């Protein structure tokens, strides 16, 4: 395979545009992409025709506006290019109007009451900054999805707004540093995607995986991840075939799939592309997740993107590696090689520290889902408490600055902001702490809290916005300073001193940290119902609306959608458990008990010692009784949800009561699994699911 040759062949990218668009049209489009200027309809017409010709040559018959509603996955509605011309004939047509705007019947997407308040219909609008691409026989056009009164109904719109806010704030602040050539600052993300692969045949026998995406029952396998022999281990042939296939498809779509390896848990893997703008990377990540699932089917696998498919085994995250870059090619989170770069770096670094401290609640809320609660807030990395890891070298510098004395340079002289060069921070020395939710890793921050299934859009929208906010605060403090250098010095020192509590370089797993964090006044929002309502705190509505990212109404609708989704997920899980226990697990155990009893009767007649039979039958009968009791209680608890009117209250009830009762049902059932003969057990076991993929 010649990768450079196939790379991006299914994308209407830069090269294709240059080849197929008249120069002035190309220039106008380019300007729109770079500066966000509105696109003229005449230009759009030419672009649309060129796109259509290109797509039809590649075998396309349809086009679709591809968008990201609040379901967290992508949506598409395909229209063919055909247009009747009389005589029973058609031509293939695609107009600028169709390219720029679509009107899917969107009444069934979650809107959290938005459409009831405003308009019944939504429309999709072309996002020219993300290239159109081909999927199957359709030309896919990345779009934003809004109501007719302009409220965002999707995940892309707020993110585009947050990128704009950050761009504006950063460019303005950089002018004070004399960086007049910077006209654009872009937020980037490189999302590392973790996933599990299980055998499709085994998967098809597990109702819980099919309906809930995670196992709701399952005794631990004799072997777990304790040997750590899977991490970076040799990739099995069949898995490798899958990965190769996936890579090739991604490359064709211009997605820079770069790194792949086995993860810590058995059957767990990771794929990371090269980073891109938060917008494009988010689109690409959606395509990656979709292709991961589709390709799995081809190779006899099922790809599990759930955050915690198996109890007692590491869950899956989506580490968001985030940085800021200028149109002049500078990474603002790179310490850099000159004193002035050092000043800019420290300014942005402390801005991020302050932003994360001030808005830890929002960051936590941005990653809150029913699935992710099994990672955060359970005993698994990272914890629900948001903190920042800086690494030893940088921490030393930052601490010295906060205490007001100048950090020591290597070799006994003292470092001055904007006068001296910062030492380089080698990646390995900053990247060792894997338990931190938000770690500085040399020239970027790695936000590790997002769950594997989550769109990057939510967390990136929040991060972009809160950093924009602090950059604005900095601008206000610095803009009229008589002595810029002096004012900057003071600002950096003060900011570190005031926000130091968010910095933590120790073990994020430990109980000590939970206590220490509480002493520091850091938030520990363990569950989704704890986290989501913070969107509606005054300070949060204020920052998000002031930067034009979410209006108050949009936030209210999102809170409603997110909590409602949480409730539905747990409701499905509870009903699935009840069904499995009743229809499969108890009958299986009964049939084992019956066989044991019959064996005992026969053997007893021959005068055999019946200790084992008796003990097994007694134990299993007693566990079956506990299971049945727990099952009945769970049923009653689920039925009682209907008496609760408020979505938020229901979410608390799901968290506190239903989840607890689900645990009480799982415990005796898992014990029965451990005692029951394998051929009786109705489901493939953890051992089979995790280790038997050859």
Which residues in this chain contact ligand ADP in the complex, by CB under 6 A? 188-190, 192, 259, 272-275, 321-323, 331, 443-444
Give the nearest distance from C-beta 275 to ligand ADP in angstroms. 3
Nearest to 161 by CA among 146, 174, 183, 180: 146
- The whole-angstrom separation of Cα 566 and Cα 571 is 9
Nearer to ligand ADP, 188 or 465 (CB): 188
Nearer to Mg ion, 115 or 284 (CB): 284
Nearest to 431 by CA among 417, 422, 443: 443
| Residue 295 CA: distances (Å) to CA of 78, 260, 397, 448 | 22, 15, 48, 26
Give the nearest distance from C-beta 314 to ligand ADP in angstroms. 14
624 binds, options ligand ADP, Mg ion, none, Cβ within 5 to 8 A by partner type: none
By CB under 5 A, what part of segment 310-329 binds Mg ion? 319
- The whole-angstrom separation of Cα 177 and Cα 344 is 8
Give the dihedral of Cα atoms 128, 134, 135, 137; nearest 10 deg: 130
Nearer to ligand ADP, 231 or 680 (CB): 231
- Angular region, 93: left φ>0, alpha ψ -120 to 50, beta rest: beta
Give the nearest distance from C-beta 272 to ligand ADP in angstroms. 4
Handedness of CA 294, 299, 300, 301 (dihedral sign): negative
Q: How many residues sit in the footprint of Mg ion (CB under 5 A)?
A: 1
Instruction: Yes or no: say if 289 and 305 are a contact pair by the CB < 8 Å rule.
Output: yes
Q: Where are the beta strands (DSSP E) in 200-317?
A: 257-262, 268-273, 276-277, 301-304
Give the nearest distance from C-beta 192 to Mg ion in angstroms. 5
485 binds, options ligand ADP, Mg ion, none, Cβ within 5 to 8 A by partner type: none
444 binds, options ligand ADP, Mg ion, none, Cβ within 5 to 8 A by partner type: ligand ADP
612 binds, options Mg ion, ligand ADP, none, Cβ within 5 to 8 A by partner type: none
Give the nearest distance from C-beta 353 to Mg ion in angstroms. 20
Nearer to ligand ADP, 273 or 437 (CB): 273
Give the nearest distance from C-beta 552 to ligand ADP in angstroms. 32
Q: Whose CB is nearest to Mg ion? A: 319
Give the nearest distance from C-beta 381 to Mg ion in angstroms. 11
Give the nearest distance from C-beta 273 to ligand ADP in angstroms. 6
Nearer to ligand ADP, 323 or 360 (CB): 323
Nearest to 305 by CA among 325, 323, 322, 285: 285
Nearer to Mg ion, 69 or 442 (CB): 442
Nearer to ligand ADP, 316 or 443 (CB): 443
309 binds, options Mg ion, ligand ADP, none, Cβ within 5 to 8 A by partner type: none
Nearer to Mg ion, 319 or 406 (CB): 319
Query: Tokens standing for 379?
Result: 């005993």
Nearer to ligand ADP, 232 or 692 (CB): 232
CA angle 290, 295, 301 (to 5 degrees): 110
* 669 exposure class (CB count in 10 Å sphere: 0-12, 13-18, 19+): buried
444 binds Mg ion (CB under 5 A): no
190 binds, options Mg ion, ligand ADP, none, Cβ within 5 to 8 A by partner type: ligand ADP
- Provide the H-helix boundaries in 504-644: 511-519, 528-531, 538-546, 552-580, 586-605, 611-640
Give the nearest distance from C-beta 186 to ligand ADP in angstroms. 10
Q: Is 447 helix (H, G, I), strand (E, B) or coil?
A: strand
566 binds, options ligand ADP, Mg ion, none, Cβ within 5 to 8 A by partner type: none
Contact mark string toward Mg ion, 260..289, x via CB under 5 A: ------------------------------
314 binds, options ligand ADP, Mg ion, none, Cβ within 5 to 8 A by partner type: none
Instruction: Yes or no: say if 230 and 266 are a contact pair by the CB < 8 Å rule.
Output: yes
272 binds, options ligand ADP, Mg ion, none, Cβ within 5 to 8 A by partner type: ligand ADP
Give the nearest distance from C-beta 188 to ligand ADP in angstroms. 4
Nearer to ligand ADP, 192 or 380 (CB): 192
Give the nearest distance from C-beta 428 to ligand ADP in angstroms. 9
The shares of helix, strand and coil residues in the chain, as percent rounded to the nearest 5, are: 50, 15, 35
Give the nearest distance from C-beta 455 to ligand ADP in angstroms. 16
- The whole-angstrom separation of Cα 500 and Cα 601 is 72
DSSP string, 382-423: SPSS--EE--HHHHHHHHHHHTTSPPBPTTS-B--TTTSPPP
- The whole-angstrom separation of Cα 242 and Cα 292 is 9
Instruction: Yes or no: say if 502 and 356 are a contact pair by the CB < 8 Å rule.
Output: yes
285 binds, options ligand ADP, Mg ion, none, Cβ within 5 to 8 A by partner type: none
Nearer to ligand ADP, 142 or 190 (CB): 190
Give the nearest distance from C-beta 510 to Mg ion in angstroms. 21
145 binds, options Mg ion, ligand ADP, none, Cβ within 5 to 8 A by partner type: none
259 binds, options Mg ion, ligand ADP, none, Cβ within 5 to 8 A by partner type: ligand ADP
- The whole-angstrom separation of Cα 543 and Cα 472 is 11
Nearest to 496 by CA among 514, 518, 474: 474
Nearer to ligand ADP, 322 or 359 (CB): 322
Query: Tokens standing for 48?
Result: 């649309």
561 binds, options Mg ion, ligand ADP, none, Cβ within 5 to 8 A by partner type: none
453 binds, options ligand ADP, Mg ion, none, Cβ within 5 to 8 A by partner type: none
Give buried/exposed letters for 281-300 (b at 16+ CB in 10 A, else e).
bbbbbbbbbebbeebbeebe
134 forms beta bridges with 139
- The whole-angstrom separation of Cα 506 and Cα 433 is 8
Nearer to ligand ADP, 456 or 650 (CB): 456
Give the nearest distance from C-beta 444 to ligand ADP in angstroms. 4
Nearer to ligand ADP, 32 or 465 (CB): 465
621 binds, options Mg ion, ligand ADP, none, Cβ within 5 to 8 A by partner type: none
Nearer to Mg ion, 445 or 654 (CB): 445
Nearer to ligand ADP, 28 or 174 (CB): 174
Give the nearest distance from C-beta 95 to ligand ADP in angstroms. 38
Q: Is 66 helix (H, G, I), strand (E, B) or coil?
A: strand
Q: Whose CB is nearest to ligand ADP? A: 190
Give the nearest distance from C-beta 430 to ligand ADP in angstroms. 11
Nearest to 198 by CA among 307, 269, 304: 304
Beta strands 257-262 and 301-304, pairing class: unpaired
Contacts of 86 (CB under 8 A, 6+ apart): none
Q: Phi and psi dihedrals of 125, rounded to 5?
A: -125, 130
331 binds, options ligand ADP, Mg ion, none, Cβ within 5 to 8 A by partner type: ligand ADP
State the residues that interact with Mg ion by CB under 5 A.
319
């Amino acid at each position: 395979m010649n990768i450079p040759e196939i790379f991006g062949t299914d994308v209407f990218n830069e090269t294709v545009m240059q080849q197929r668009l008249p120069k002035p049209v190309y220039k106008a489009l380019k300007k729109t992409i770079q500066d966000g200027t509105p696109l003229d309809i005449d230009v759009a017409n030419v672009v649309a025709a060129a796109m259509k010709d290109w797509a039809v040559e590649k075998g396309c018959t349809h086009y679709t506006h591809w968008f990201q509603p609040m379901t967290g996955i992508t949506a598409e509605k395909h229209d063919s290019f055909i247009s009747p011309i009389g005589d029973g004939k058609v031509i293939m047509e695609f107009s600028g109007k169709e390219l720029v705007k679509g009107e899917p019947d969107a009444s069934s997407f979650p809107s959290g009451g938005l459409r009831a308040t405003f308009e019944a219909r939504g429309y999709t609008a072309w996002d020219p900054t993300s290239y159109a691409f081909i999927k199957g026989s359709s030309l896919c056009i990345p779009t934003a999805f809004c109501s007719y009164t302009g409220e965002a109904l999707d995940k892309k719109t707020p993110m585009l707004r947050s990128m704009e806010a950050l761009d504006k704030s950063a460019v303005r602040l950089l002018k004070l540093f004399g960086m007049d050539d910077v006209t654009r600052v872009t937020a980037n993300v490189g999302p590392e995607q973790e996933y599990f692969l299980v055998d499709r045949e085994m998967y098809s026998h597990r109702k819980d995986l099919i309906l809930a995406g995670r196992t709701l029952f399952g005794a631990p396998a004799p072997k777990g991840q304790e040997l750590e022999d899977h991490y970076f281990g040799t990739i099995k042939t069949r898995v490798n075939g899958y990965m190769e296939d996936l890579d090739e498809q991604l490359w064709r779509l211009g997605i820079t799939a770069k790194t792949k390896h086995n993860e810590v848990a058995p059957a767990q893997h990771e794929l990371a592309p090269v980073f891109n703008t938060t917008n494009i990377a988010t689109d690409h990540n959606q395509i990656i997740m979709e292709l991961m699932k589709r390709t799995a089917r081809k190779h006899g696998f099922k790809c599990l993107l759930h955050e915690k498919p198996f109890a007692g085994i590491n869950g899956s995250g989506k580490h968001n590696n985030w940085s800021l870059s200028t149109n002049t090619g500078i990474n603002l989170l790179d310490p850099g090689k000159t004193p002035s770069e050092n000043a800019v770096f420290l300014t942005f670094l402390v801005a991020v520290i302050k932003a994360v401290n001030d808005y830890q609640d929002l960051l936590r809320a941005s990653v809150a889902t029913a699935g992710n609660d099994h990672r955060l807030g359970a005993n698994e990395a990272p914890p629900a408490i948001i903190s920042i890891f800086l690494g030893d070298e940088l921490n030393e510098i930052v601490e010295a600055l906060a205490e007001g004395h100048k950090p020591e340079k290597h070799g006994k002289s003292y470092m001055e902001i904007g006068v001296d060069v910062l030492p380089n921070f080698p990646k390995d020395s900053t990247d060792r702490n894997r338990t931190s939710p938000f770690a500085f890793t040399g020239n970027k921050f790695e936000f590790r809290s997002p769950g594997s299934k989550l769109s990057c859009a939510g967390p990136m929208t929040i991060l972009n916005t809160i950093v924009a906010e602090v950059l604005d605060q900095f601008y206000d403090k610095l803009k009229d300073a008589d002595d810029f250098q002096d004012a900057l010095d003071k600002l950096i020192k003060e900011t570190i001193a005031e926000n130091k509590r968010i910095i933590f370089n120790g073990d994020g797993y430990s109980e000590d940290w939970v206590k220490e964090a509480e002493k520091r006044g850091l938030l520990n929002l363990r569950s989704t119902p704890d986290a989501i309502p913070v969107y509606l705190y005054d300070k949060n509505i204020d920052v998000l609306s002031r930067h034009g990212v979410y209006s108050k109404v949009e936030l209210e609708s999102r809170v409603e959608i997110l909590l409602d989704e949480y409730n539905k997920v747990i409701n499905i899980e509870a009903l699935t458990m009840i069904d499995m226990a009743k229809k499969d697990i108890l009958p299986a155990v009964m049939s084992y008990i019956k066989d044991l009893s019959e064996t005992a009767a026969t053997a007893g007649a021959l005068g055999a010692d019946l200790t084992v039979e008796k003990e097994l039958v007694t134990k299993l009968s007693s566990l079956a009784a506990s299971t049945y009791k727990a099952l009945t209680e769970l049923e009653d608890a689920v039925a009682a949800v209907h008496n609760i009117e408020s979505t938020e209250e229901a979410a608390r009830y799901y968290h506190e009561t239903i989840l607890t009762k689900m645990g009480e049902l799982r415990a005796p059932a898992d014990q029965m699994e451990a005692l029951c003969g394998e051929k009786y057990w109705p489901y493939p076991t953890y051992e089979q699911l995790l280790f038997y993929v050859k």
